Chains A and B, each alone.
Chain A
Amino acid sequence: MFQRILAIVAATFLFAACETASEVGGDSASTSSASSASSASSSASAAKTEADKLAEVGNTVYFDFDSSELSENAQMTLNRQAAFLNVNPTLVIVVEGHADERGTREYNLALGDRRATAVRDYLLAKGLNSARVRTVSYGKERPAVEGSTEAAWEKNRRAATVLN
């Protein structure tokens, strides 16, 4: 009659609530004591120095709403980035494209890609080897400034150059 049974095997997934381990903070430098300067810690502190220098040069450019056009300000920042990268030929970068929260998720992923590509293409035109740069879009997923205000959104429509 109507007793039809279908057996299926279903696995039960129990993930322990995973909090990510400690975010990268400033703790790596503090562990390197003066006595034992291992190669690992020295290279880590060197990378940090390069990142600091990049930050001084300007590692972030900002965009108008729904735009990937590089403003004059952005171009000046990228000129300094290009000069810095050209005198540090071992550095490899990732350009991260971001959007503010005032758009839909998927469109903003594409917009972030467009912004990262605009920065990459500008740097390539300034002589950067394409093998040294990768792009990634985070859409509206990784705001730099918290809050749902126009001031925050301005700071979140950005492309950030980070060392790989």
Chain B
Amino acid sequence: MVAKIFRPILCRCVAVVAVLAIALGLAPIGQAEAQLRIEITEGQVAPTPIAIAEFTGPDGNVTAVGRQLTQIISDDLESSGLFRPVDSAAFIDPPKAPSVKPNFANWSPLGVKGLLVGSAYIDDAGMLQVEFVLWDVVIQRNITAGGGNADQSGLRRLAHQIADFVYEEFTGDSGYFDTQIVYVAESGTQSRRLKRLAIMDQDGHNHRYLTSGLDLVLTPRFSPTANEIAYLNYFNDEPNVYLFEVATGRTERLGSFPGMTFAPRFGPDGDKLIMSLAQDGMTDIYEMDMRTQSINQLTKSASIDTSPSYAPDGNRIVFNSDRGGSQQLYVMDADGSNVRRISYGVGRYATPVWSPRGDIIAFTKMANGQFYIGVMNVDGSGERLLADGFLVEGPTWAPNGRVLMYFKQEPFEADGSGGATHVYRIDITGFNERRIVTPSDASDPAWSPLLR
């Protein structure tokens, strides 16, 4: 079954703002935004109160699609822990259209910093038409505006994109709501675990399975375009890295090598992929040219070298090695030279992932019979542990480098039951840990880049 989907594209549109600005006698966008900035890195912040008026139709009345859109936007912003959408029951006389200047006297008393107003309706051609304006209630100006249209199936993505606009205006960072998660859906008892690739929006909606579960699959990772997923597949009981094309479902084994390939990750441009190749008991890191599928060996030692991850500029690679006697984190140049150890704390360190911002590295740590998710600076200093448990593993970054996702497994019972395994996300401040709801147990999450 092939469904045709119009991909929603939402534009922050200078033209719209200019028209509005002229009509309303306001200054154009871009002059005042700084005073509302939320600084996320300095510990827990009080969520910013914001009013989101339900989007209206051409007649000024709230529409069904408008109600859906505003609920999704509100849920997104609330889930970040940085915003507190105010109950709409407290609203007095919300503007009937995005072109109408709000009466700020009605909004200041609510304590809100921002007011989002918009229109959303299905036009005669059956297309969803959306416009919005974000007002700064403090300085009484519109700070961003935009609009777009989509097939009605694109409603959720349009809402996520608007939420990203709002997030961006208030935090100065790009958002992460218009993203997807690929992960491994798990079912069955401990020794007969059925594992399938599954994909969903970052809020858990639009969930679907990508593989049948006939073959064991592990560790999916998105390409930089989110169009492809590299993962470990036990086809014919031979574990190798495969590529899954999201749009078509086509799978392809990446190269053919004597031994097991695993632990794949794309380079920042998608033209390269790094992975491990285990051969004769030795596991080294190789770089693959995605056009020719030729490989280049980067590490050469009798130790286990695995879980490589590129820096966002592609110039360095962080990886996991037991060359010093136990699992620790190492950084090397992208050509394999200049290897230096960066982790020196108590315990064993694994699964390093370089932040998209480049400044820190997330990892799994094992110490004192517990597992931890943590972050450290690129030189190994400044270690902070964010989450812990019987087993927490496999951090993955939101594209803005502000939020981590990982999975947590509870202990199994002697009959193979128990072992609840779920995906969680947490701010890099260590606050706002939330479980992502999935239809079954879930592990090995990978966060997509912002969709385009």
Is there an interface contact between A3 and B3, defined as CB atoms closer than 8 Å? Answer: no
Whether a CB of chain B sits under 8 angstroms from the CB of A22 is: no
When chains A and B are docked, how far (Å) is the Cα of A103 from the Cα of B283? Answer: 16
In the complex, per-residue mask of B367-401: 1 if CB is within 8 Å of any chain A CB, else 0: 00000000000000000000000110110000000
When chains A and B are docked, how far (Å) is the Cα of A107 from the Cα of B385? Answer: 21
User: Which of chain B's residues 210-268 have a Cβ closer than 8 Å to chain A?
Assistant: 210-214, 216, 218-219, 232, 237-239, 246-249, 259-260, 262-263
In the complex, what's the smallest C-beta–C-beta distance from A77 to chain B, in angstroms?
Answer: 19
Chain A residues with CB below 8 A from B48, complex form: none
Segment among B31-39, B70-78, B133-141, B409-417 that sits at the interface with chain A:
B409-417
Q: Which residue of A lies closest to B4 (CB)?
A: A9
Is there an interface contact between B9 and A4, defined as CB atoms closer than 8 Å? Answer: yes
User: Which of chain A's residues 1-52 have a Cβ closer than 8 Å to chain B?
Assistant: 1-15, 18-20, 23
When chains A and B are docked, how far (Å) is the Cα of A4 from the Cα of B304? Answer: 49
User: Which of chain B's residues 27-78 have a Cβ closer than 8 Å to chain A?
Assistant: none
Given contacts A117-B280, A147-B412, A148-B412, contact A7 B4 (CB under 8 A): yes
Is there an interface contact between B419 and A148, defined as CB atoms closer than 8 Å? Answer: yes
Is there an interface contact between A1 and B304, defined as CB atoms closer than 8 Å? Answer: no
Whether a CB of chain B sits under 8 angstroms from the CB of A142 is: yes
Given contacts A11-B248, A105-B218, A148-B411, contact A5 B278 (CB under 8 A): no
User: Which of chain B's residues 303-351 have a Cβ closer than 8 Å to chain A?
Assistant: 304, 306-307, 320, 322, 326-327, 350-351
Is there an interface contact between A6 and B9, defined as CB atoms closer than 8 Å? Answer: yes
When chains A and B are docked, how far (Å) is the Cα of A84 from the Cα of B327? Answer: 37
Is there an interface contact between B213 and A2, defined as CB atoms closer than 8 Å? Answer: no
Given contacts A8-B5, A113-B281, A117-B281, contact A106 B351 (CB under 8 A): yes
Main secondary structure on B side of the interface with A: strand
Is there an interface contact between A68 and B444, defined as CB atoms closer than 8 Å? Answer: no
Is there an interface contact between A13 and B6, defined as CB atoms closer than 8 Å? Answer: no
Chain B residues with CB below 8 A from A107, complex form: 304, 306-307, 320, 322, 327, 350
When chains A and B are docked, how far (Å) is the Cα of A19 from the Cα of B307? Answer: 31
When chains A and B are docked, how far (Å) is the Cα of A23 from the Cα of B194? Answer: 13
25 pairs, CB–CB < 8 Å, chain A vs chain B:
A3-B149, A4-B148, A7-B4, A7-B6, A8-B5, A9-B5, A10-B2, A11-B3, A12-B208, A19-B194, A23-B192, A103-B350, A104-B394, A109-B278, A110-B276, A110-B283, A110-B304, A113-B281, A121-B281, A136-B238, A143-B191, A146-B414, A146-B416, A147-B190, A148-B418
Seen from chain B, the residues whose Cβ lies within 8 Å of a Cβ on chain A are 1-7, 9-11, 13, 15-16, 146-150, 189-196, 208-214, 216, 218-219, 232, 237-239, 246-249, 259-260, 262-263, 276, 278, 280-281, 283, 304, 306-307, 320, 322, 326-327, 350-351, 364, 366, 390-391, 393-394, 409, 411-416, 418-419, 444
Seen from chain A, the residues whose Cβ lies within 8 Å of a Cβ on chain B are 1-15, 18-20, 23, 66, 68, 101-107, 109-111, 113-114, 116-118, 121, 136-138, 141-149, 152
Report, nearest first, the 6 A-B pairs whose CB atoms are least far apart: A117-B281, A148-B411, A146-B416, A104-B350, A147-B414, A110-B283
